Structures are given as structure tokens and as C-alpha cells.
Structure 1
């Protein structure tokens, strides 16, 4: 499916985006089609596994705006490869404004979609808004503190200490870069057995296996679970029950607060992407949920 390339401004930076136009008029009203705003998780870029999701939703009649955060992928901005939770949330909100201005869309029927780290951003971006018609949170990371505790099951204390020290060094002096994904025992943001192969399998041409080590400090303060109760629109939480990266129990707590519909999958964090066993089910549930709640709207 073809898509248009465009940019929007967030925090004075040009962010790159892809616009997929929805097919048919099954979900269209006189005001236009609903539009999904979509972004990736930790260090992810829109060319790294998002397109199959976007195409499926566009095929169901929704416009989709997928984008890269500032400093990542095709977007401008410096420093590069540095995660700022506040900056990424600002980018989400700017993308929502840009999506509302797209031709043929209904600005009062925004859908906020996020996977992994962005699943938490989607919750925060939708909280307290009356122009958001639905939220889709796929394997969401909603509580950084809980994720840190969860990581103790798959990482040694020495590994976690090494990452923490690198983060402090980067915060206090010259930036310290580390891999996004690495083999178990190596320095990296994600070193769970199999995660490197899984991430590289979806990595697109703009993706870089490099990240500022301050990411651990940013994750510690990432707690969109606190805002889940302020999401007033229908929400779908898709939880990987054997997720070694985003704690499933935290996702369930956030889903309860958001009064969300929940789907469970007997898989790990990366098993929801195209080419993996559970991708088709995940996409089918998203399409069914959005078709139902937006059709009712």
C-alpha cells in the first residue's frame, strides 16, 4: 500500500511521518474518516515493523499517521538517539494535531496507537482529551519502576549496575552511547536472550542500534499508569502474557484503571510483529475493536 511522506513540527523540530489513506467509506461520516496516530517503542522507527499494522488499519477504512520521534529515524533533531519521555509525548501530541489537519479525516475521531514504550505514551496522550475516540495499547510499558523490578528475572544485578553507571556518566559528562539490543551479558538497553535477533528482524534502514545510556533514568520516571484512569474513550490493551520486557501485571492494572477491553496472547514481547505467530490475531483484534467502537460513534 502506498503512503505519502510528510513532516510536522514538534518543539521546533521537523518530525517525519507517513500518511496512509483509509480505503473505502465503512467508517466515514460527513466529517471524514477516523485517523490513527502511531509510533514505535524504545528507539524504534516507523520503518521498523509499523507498516504492516498501518496497512491493515488503512485497509479497514482508517487513515493512519505513523511518525518518528525527534532525534530518531527520518526525523530531525539533536541530540540523536536520546530518549526524552517528555519530548516523545510532546511529539505524540504534535502528531495528533497534524493528523487532525489531514484532508478527509474527522478531527474529532482521533485514535492513539502505541506499542511497547509508545503504548504508555498513547495512554498519556489520550488522557483528558475529548477528541480521542479510541486507544490501542499493544504490549504497553506503563510503569518504568515495575519494569525495572521485572528485569531482575532476566538480568543479573551486575548487568543492571553497569547500565546504571553508564547512564550517570552520560548524564554528568560527555554522552555515553550503548546498543539498543545486545547479547546477554553485554552492555545494552535490551539484552534478554533472543531480543537482539527479534529486533534486528524488524529493523528498517533508518534504525540505529545505538542509544544514549541515560535511557534508564528516563524509564524510571515513565509511569503513564497514573494517567490511565483519565482515559475516557474506549481502549484496547493487548497483553503478551509471557512478556519479559513490559510487565504484564502492570499492563493489567492500567487496563483496569482505563476500563479497557483486554486481549491476551500466550507470547513474548516481540511475537506480535509481522512474521511472528501472533501478529495476525493481534491485527484482527485491533481492526474488530476499532470497527466496532468507531462504527458506534
Structure 2
């Protein structure tokens, strides 16, 4: 792979009247490079290692735009910490529309890359945008019921009072009742696997914008969300990067869905859900993803 010098720009784009903050990584010396759009997981912001992936892609001659969803981080949107699946998917549509208008990238050669909850979004987005050249779905959330089973019935029951309180707050127009995103085993949190809290914290830089909370009303919508079902409708090549020891998004379900994608490629890693962003697992997965993207975005060798 070529090794371009990379320039990072702070940019924004509009999403239904709100502003999504993003970074655009451009490979120097490449005129109108293809572009991959990167979106993160549950309540996460782009500072949580999306820059590491984006920079690698840019070094290989692929521009990369990493963005933060509305209601989170330094993007706008009220109330704060609101995780709406519908709005996040609209943010993806807005991101694709934005890169198509830019003159510094080739808007006809676009790919999407999502991780965890964003990996589920990437499947849905790719199914809705047949013009995309490629998609990458990393340790994707594909089946809410499977993830709820991983949390366990007791863990799920613990969340119900908060969820009910937040639905009342929404009806009364009050501030959301928040729920911890990643907690220790036994805590009231959306993710309580042993590696969830240390996994999240390992990705947060000192000056990050991540807040370990989310409006509780999202919990039931996550349970019934099954983005894996869209895999069979993805016309573009799609790479599934699956962690064999995934405590958050069970790999068995993901594999079953991945096999339904007409042009799907599957890579498996001897790693847990949060390992993939750092160290040796990161080096392995980012090399596979770069090769896949370069192939389908027709990067000049």
C-alpha cells in the first residue's frame, strides 16, 4: 500500500437543521480521492479511535470522513445524549449527501464504515444506497434480541424503571432521564459485560467529548432493532469483521446474517468486542479493511 502524507481538516455538515461535526482526512498528492465515511457505536464519539482507522485509510490514498452523530459530542442537537436510531440513520444519509457535493473528494466513489452499533447502521445504510461502492461492518450490532439475551433478563429488568421515567419525561417535555451506557457487571447499564466499561474507557482520550450516559428511552428500541436483516438487500460488496469473543454483539447471529449478503466477505478475529480498536487486533483488522476498500474503490496502485 502507498503511504501518503495525511492532512486532517475539521468540517461540519447539516443534518435536518442540526450540525454534525466531523474530521476529513485527505491523502496529499491525490486528486479527488475516493472517500469512506466512518461512524461509531452506541453513544460513542469520533475521538474514540475513529481517527486511527481514518488516518490509515487516508495513508493508502482513500479520503476518510469520521463524524459524530447529532445529540452527542461536539455535534449539535437537543436534548443531549438522545440516541434515536432514525435520526442516526438520517445523519448517515446527510453524510453521504455531503461528500457527494465536495470538490476535494470523488463523490462517485463512496464507501461507508461502521463499528458496533454503527456497524449495524452501515448494513442498513448500504442496503438503502445501492450507489455505494463498498461497506465495512465491524463487530456489528445485528440483532437486539441476541444482545438483550447477552445482557440477561435480570439486567434487562433493572433498566425498566429508568426507561419508564424517561418516557414520562419525554411526554412532559422535560430533560431526559439518563441511563449509564457501559457499567460494571451487576450495575444498571446498557452494557454490563466484564470488558464493556474498561473497553469504552480505553478508547476515550484525555480531552474527549464522550459522556457515559444515554437517554433511557432508547433501551426498548435497541431490543427490537435487527439491522442484520438488511444484509440480504446490500447490493455492494460488504466486509464483515467479526470478533470471535464478542460479549456485546454475539458473533453467531452476526455470522448468520453476514452469510445472507449477496457480495459479502467475512473476516473473523481472535478478539473481543473492544479489542479491535487497539494493538495487534487493530493492526490486523485495519490492514484487511484497507485492502478491501482499496480494491472496491479502485485506488490506483
Within 5 Å, which residues of 2 pair with 1:1-297? 1-25=6-30, 32-152=32-152, 157-173=153-169, 175-204=176-205, 205-259=208-262, 260-274=264-278, 276-295=279-298
Kindly report structure 1 stretches of 4+ aligned residues shifted beyond 6 Å.
Answer: none
- Between the aligned partners of 1:22 and 1:258, the Cα distance in structure 2 is 31
User: Which secondary structure does the structure 1 equivalent of 2:273 belong to?
Assistant: coil
Change (3 A) 1:23 1:231: farther
- Between the aligned partners of 1:296 and 1:60, the Cα distance in structure 2 is 8
TM-score by length of 1: 0.92
Change (3 A) 1:296 1:13: closer
Q: 47-56 or 162-171, which moves further after superposition? A: 162-171
In structure 1, the gaps of 5 or more residues are none
- The one-character-per-residue Cα deviations of 1:144-176 (angstroms, maximum 9, x if unpaired) are 122112332xxxx33220113311221123522
In structure 2, the gaps of 5 or more residues are 1-5
- Between the aligned partners of 1:105 and 1:2, the Cα distance in structure 2 is 13
Residue 22 of structure 1 contacts residue 64 of structure 1 at CA under 8 Å; is this kept in 2? no
Residue 183 of structure 1 contacts residue 196 of structure 1 at CA under 8 Å; is this kept in 2? yes
- Between the aligned partners of 1:190 and 1:149, the Cα distance in structure 2 is 12
Residue 49 of structure 1 deviates from its aligned partner by 1.3
- Between the aligned partners of 2:54 and 2:80, the Cα distance in structure 1 is 25
Q: RMSD over aligned Cα, in angstroms? A: 1.7
User: Which secondary structure does the structure 2 equivalent of 1:65 belong to?
Assistant: strand
- Between the aligned partners of 2:284 and 2:57, the Cα distance in structure 1 is 13
User: Which secondary structure does the structure 1 equivalent of 2:248 belong to?
Assistant: coil
- Between the aligned partners of 1:109 and 1:45, the Cα distance in structure 2 is 25
Change (3 A) 1:288 1:221: same
Residue 128 of structure 1 deviates from its aligned partner by 3.8
Residue 188 of structure 1 deviates from its aligned partner by 1.4
Aligned length: 287
- Between the aligned partners of 1:76 and 1:194, the Cα distance in structure 2 is 30
Q: 88-97 or 143-152, which moves further after superposition? A: 143-152
TM-score by length of 2: 0.90
- Between the aligned partners of 2:90 and 2:224, the Cα distance in structure 1 is 16
